[in-house]
Chain A
């Protein structure tokens, strides 16, 4: 587009029809959970009669599917390569990887992100972008143990050294002592409820002992019955 005070420059529309396409245009990744990874391929079709370089990037969506929100963690999605040169009337594949970090807190959510494809170095000023829509739903994870107020008041130093959340992680506020609020990842809630950990091995040991005792009793009764017979 040319814009000026005087009609000094007149651009002639470029005759070549810049054209390309992608497939698939929409992909669903469901039941994603912390530590999980999924991947798929997108094919780019260069419909130009000349070699073309395409730039690819992961970006926020301009709008979303109903009940979906923009994915707040664009770094979970990567596309490789991020630039690809394709010959005239040829096609090429790129790989999209969706990777949810182990410590991510994003349970039971639906989110959308776009994979953008653009031609590079096109002569005109009207550019084409084609975006493949990626719709993600995450698995519903168990809620973390609620923090116990006593534990927080007993260890006031925790306020100064809260568990450092990973980048972009949701940071729920855990109320402590009725007054002090500390910020921690849900996983970090375990650190403010130490009562849970000491009892844990005893539960396993007790269960094992119970199974052994019941098994022994059954064995004894069967053997006794046989002897009677």
Chain B
């Protein structure tokens, strides 16, 4: 009996081991399948937020422009005339390549990243020289609209940028971090004559964004 029983026990042990291996293989296979699937599902359901570190900061001086009164003019304006924010002359165009001396405004840029800067100008209101922006630049006006363009020191003057009421193109793209910018504006007044002497106001908005 003992002689017969011993080989039977061996077979049982062998089969037990085989079953164990089979079970372990099965569990491993399931784990191999489940882990990547779970990972993929988890990744798909995750919203990622990536903030590019970067400080964006500018300021501008001066914050006012009395048209026809920064380059020797008398402050009175005429219809259908281009006026420049040019300290060298209110009716003097900047140099072919704009130089610092042509520029009345200066943006102090303390950003730590390259910055895009654009300039918008809204309608003139609350006076006798009211007019809206043609959004077509300083070569385009009509009875009720004015045109405006901007430029900066170092720019080829003919590449000046149209200043719209909103959504102007960038005056400069990717301005180097911590680099200031001297700039100026020109306005072509409306064609209709002015009927009074009460001044009108407009707001210039300088917008800075990370490039």
Q: Which residues of A contact B59 (CB under 8 A)?
A: 17-20, 47, 128
Give the nearest-CB partner of B74 in chain A: A7
Task: From the candidates B55, B58, B113, B168, name the one contacting A62 in the complex (CB within 8 A).
Answer: B168
Q: Is A40 an interface residue (CB 8 A)?
A: yes
> Which residues of B149-203 are within 8 A (CB) of A?
166-170, 194, 196-203
A22:B204 contact, CB within 8 angstroms: no
Instruction: Looking at the assembled complex, report how far the CB atom of A10 sits from the nearest CB atom of chain B, in whole angstroms.
Output: 5
Q: Which residues of B contact A29 (CB under 8 A)?
A: 47-50
* The stretch of B30-38, B95-103, B104-112, B135-143 that contacts the partner chain: B104-112
Q: Is A122 an interface residue (CB 8 A)?
A: yes
Instruction: Looking at the assembled complex, report how far the CB atom of B198 sits from the nearest CB atom of chain A, in whole angstroms.
Output: 6
Q: Which residues of B contact A (CB under 8 A)?
A: 11-12, 15, 19, 44-69, 74-77, 105, 108, 110-111, 113, 115-116, 118, 124, 127-129, 166-170, 194, 196-210
Cβ contacts A1-29/B at 8 Å (1 or 0 each): 11111111111111001111111111111
B76:A5 contact, CB within 8 angstroms: yes
Q: Is A63 an interface residue (CB 8 A)?
A: yes
B209:A131 contact, CB within 8 angstroms: yes
Q: Which residues of A contact B208 (CB under 8 A)?
A: 128-131
Most buried by B among A18, A27, A30, A126: A126
Q: Which residues of A contact B129 (CB under 8 A)?
A: 3-5
Q: Is A123 an interface residue (CB 8 A)?
A: yes
Task: From the candidates B53, B111, B170, B200, name the one contacting A3 in the complex (CB within 8 A).
Answer: B200
Q: Is A32 an interface residue (CB 8 A)?
A: yes
Q: Is A68 an interface residue (CB 8 A)?
A: no
A124:B47 contact, CB within 8 angstroms: no
| Interface CB pairs A-B, < 8 A, 29 | A1-B66, A2-B64, A2-B65, A2-B75, A3-B201, A4-B197, A4-B199, A5-B77, A7-B69, A13-B64, A14-B62, A17-B61, A19-B57, A19-B110, A25-B54, A26-B210, A27-B51, A37-B47, A40-B51, A62-B118, A62-B166, A122-B63, A126-B204, A127-B205, A128-B58, A129-B207, A131-B207, A131-B209, A222-B19
